[in-house]
Amino acid sequence: MIIGGGPVGCTFAAQTATFTTVVVEEHAEIGSPVQCAGLVHPRVVEMADAQDTVVNTITGLRLVPPGGKALEVRSTETKAVVIDRRKFDHKCCERAVREGADILEGHEFLGFGREGKRLSVKVRGPEGPLTLEADLLVGADGYKSRVGKIAGLGPAKESIRGIQVDLDVRMEDPSMVEVHIGQRIAPGFFAWVIPCGDFTRIGLGVSQAGGPPSGHLTAFLKKRGFGGADRLRMVSGVIPIGPPKKTFGDNILLVGDSAAQTKPLSGGGLYTGLRAARWGAMTAVDALKDKDLSAKRLSGYDEKWRADVGKEIERGLLIRKVFANLTDRKMDDVCRMLDRPDAKEVLATGDIDFPSKLASPLLKTVPTLVKFSPQLIGTLIRREQR
């Protein structure tokens, strides 16, 4: 049984549906409310076979430091696409149903108990409370993960509060995403401007110490010249950063945001979550076949996802530690140092799912960057060589 009908829960379900698989989703409709900027690498769309959810293609980045002198990086390749996240979630759900999973929408997971080697799972649906039986309980229930809480796994090391608004504005250059950094603009994280075809999505994330994100968004909209634009819709949400030590227990797996499998530098969680779902489903299918749902057996999932996307998450956490503490002046310095053709050429090779891979080539190109954190850079290079 999978708790959470988000993209990760539904993708997990599609891959385990040879066994009886039920997805329990508290909302009446999968994919709503949306809590996502929808910016992903095209590989994510391929993984979900969701090409028809793409609303725009991105080939470049404008990185705007606090001092305002933007660094522009352009590429001839598609670097990212913007997806209609509601439609994307629907696609993931349809696939799960096609493979044979049952979706229980409008049912809230309340808790679970143990009965021998099985679990009794309590949910509340429109008709009242229900108790269901399960061999395996998968927590794909997002950053608040009740499954994780009850199982004693989690929480994430940190959480970023995000807020964004869709404005009735068309960007002049729809191929460029803007990223604005600065401790006053978006303390501990960054702000984004994403062209989405007919409209533009503007948002930001703020670390816990940064205060309420709504005030920062109002100030940013004004600063960026969008203060008077018509608002189409507003979204807020939380991005968990830094996975817990363990993402499994007896009869339990955590996957996606519930396991904080997000990229610490961007907050993106779709690629990492879908990859982890694949490892989780493979482990689950083998364990169900062998009727061994012990923590020891399920620990294989933890090893597999950490050996895959976990490496990038670890490196991202290290870089984030330095980034989150940079002063505005230092951010300006870094951007100034990168604003040269050879460094921009390196930046143009970047992949949004593997941002830390830029560290080594950038240092080779601009060796003076080492002064910002010699210790971090040594660690990153050693880890890359592993």
User: Strands of 80-83's sheet, edge to edge?
Assistant: 39-40, 80-83, 54-58
Before 341, cis peptide (omega within 30)? Answer: no
Closest CA to 355 of 38, 41, 46, 78: 41
Cβ atoms of 244 and 275 within 8 Å: the answer is: no
Q: How many residues bind ligand FAD (CB under 6 A)?
A: 37
User: Is 16 a binder of ligand FAD (CB under 6 A)?
Assistant: no
Tell the burial category of 29 from Cβ atoms under 10 Å away from its Cβ (0-12, 13-18, 19+).
middle
Tell the burial category of 308 from Cβ atoms under 10 Å away from its Cβ (0-12, 13-18, 19+).
middle
User: Is 146 a binder of ligand FAD (CB under 6 A)?
Assistant: yes
Minimum distance of ligand FAD from residue 369's CB (angstroms): 27
User: Is 264 a binder of ligand FAD (CB under 6 A)?
Assistant: no
User: Is 4 a binder of ligand FAD (CB under 6 A)?
Assistant: yes
Q: Which of 132, 366 has the CB closer to ligand FAD?
A: 132
Among residues 5, 66, 148, 316, the one that binds ligand FAD under rule CB under 6 A: 5
User: Is 355 a binder of ligand FAD (CB under 6 A)?
Assistant: no
User: Is 269 a binder of ligand FAD (CB under 6 A)?
Assistant: yes
Minimum distance of ligand FAD from residue 276's CB (angstroms): 9
- Residue 249: strand pairing partners: 252
Among residues 2, 14, 17, 24, the one that binds ligand FAD under rule CB under 6 A: 24
User: Is 35 a binder of ligand FAD (CB under 6 A)?
Assistant: yes
CA–CA distance, 154 with 239 (Å, rounded to integer) = 14
CA–CA distance, 101 with 92 (Å, rounded to integer) = 11
User: Is 74 a binder of ligand FAD (CB under 6 A)?
Assistant: no
Among residues 8, 22, 119, 293, the one that binds ligand FAD under rule CB under 6 A: 8
User: Is 154 a binder of ligand FAD (CB under 6 A)?
Assistant: no
Q: Which of 217, 346 has the CB closer to ligand FAD?
A: 217
CA–CA distance, 24 with 140 (Å, rounded to integer) = 10
User: Is 244 a binder of ligand FAD (CB under 6 A)?
Assistant: no
Longest CA span, the chain: 64
Minimum distance of ligand FAD from residue 172's CB (angstroms): 22
Minimum distance of ligand FAD from residue 379's CB (angstroms): 26
Q: Which of 343, 352 has the CB closer to ligand FAD?
A: 352
User: Is 270 a binder of ligand FAD (CB under 6 A)?
Assistant: yes
CA–CA distance, 143 with 155 (Å, rounded to integer) = 8
Which residue minimizes CB distance to ligand FAD? Answer: 269
User: Which residues are CB-neighbours of 71 under 8 A, at least 6 positions away?
Assistant: 62, 63, 64, 65, 335, 338, 339, 344, 347
Which positions lie near ligand FAD, rule CB under 6 A? Answer: 3-9, 24-27, 35-40, 108-109, 140-142, 146, 162, 164, 203, 237-239, 256-257, 262, 267-270, 273
